[in-house]
Amino acid sequence: MKTHKNLYYQIYDIKNLILAWKKARKHKTKKDYVIEFEEDLGRNLMQLKFELMSQTYKPKLLKTFILRDPKTRKISKSDFRDRIVHHALIRIIEPIFDKTFIYDSCANRKNKGNLFAIKRFHIFIKKVSRNGKINGWFDNNQIKGYCFKADIKHYFQEINHNVLLNVIKRKIGDEKVIYLIKQILQNCNSSAKLEERERETRAN
């Protein structure tokens, strides 16, 4: 299996950081944290570049809040500058992994939104129903087939990060990229542990 090396410098390339900043600010240009970051945009992007290049970059702890829409969900939000780093990383490694995904995977993939998923679903309906040709006891209002709907509770919080990193290492042979990914994953763990300690403190 081919592994990709010499990727890290592409992440902190200033052109990549600018594109990542544009992606991170999309539909959020009026947010206070975006306005604050952009008050000294050039300096802030160059600071990110320096921290990534020197491997001194440390993500800030996540901010957690409850969202009800209508299902109650706990959302953990990264700082804006960290989201720029996330987009900078994804811009480089996404094309590598996207090639390995099955065609019908629609989760956060370019040109594969809700409309694509619905169209593919209708194609599968036609396949499983043999284009409406009914056999046996099935009548014209029934289709012989199954659709499985599921959601993995707290998927990102529960996934084994060591297993995840081993999967990533099959494709990414650049240790500096792996180190950056570890920084991001460890930040999630640190934020979760801090939140748990705060709950215990309030309980006592």
- Tell me which residue range forms the domain holding 174: 8-100+145-203
Whole-number pLDDT of residue 16: 98
CA-based nearest residue to 12, from 141, 138, 176: 176
Q: Report if residue 150 sits inside a domain.
A: yes
CA 20 to chain CA centroid, nearest Å: 14
Q: Report if residue 29 sits inside a domain.
A: yes
Residues 6+ apart with CB under 8 A from 45: 14, 17, 18, 21, 84
Distances in whole angstroms, Cα of residue 155 to Cα of each of 152, 158, 159, 160, 197: 5, 5, 6, 10, 22
Whole-number pLDDT of residue 119: 92
Number of domains in the chain: 1
- Note the pTM of the prediction, 2 decimals: 0.82
How far the first Cα of the chain sits from its last, in Å, is 53
Distances in whole angstroms, Cα of residue 130 to Cα of each of 123, 144, 173: 11, 9, 46
Q: Report if residue 105 sits inside a domain.
A: no
Q: Report if residue 122 sits inside a domain.
A: no
- 132 versus 103: which is more confidently predicted? 103
**Model pLDDT for residues 1-53, shown as the tens digit of each residue:** 689 999 999 999 999 999 999 999 999 999 999 999 999 999 999 999 999 99
Q: Report if residue 131 sits inside a domain.
A: no
Q: Report if residue 199 sits inside a domain.
A: yes
Q: Report if residue 166 sits inside a domain.
A: yes
**Model pLDDT for residues 137-173, shown as the tens digit of each residue:** 555 556 567 778 888 877 777 888 999 999 999 999 9
Q: Report if residue 136 sits inside a domain.
A: no
Longest dimension (CA), the chain: 71
Mean pLDDT, the chain, integer = 86
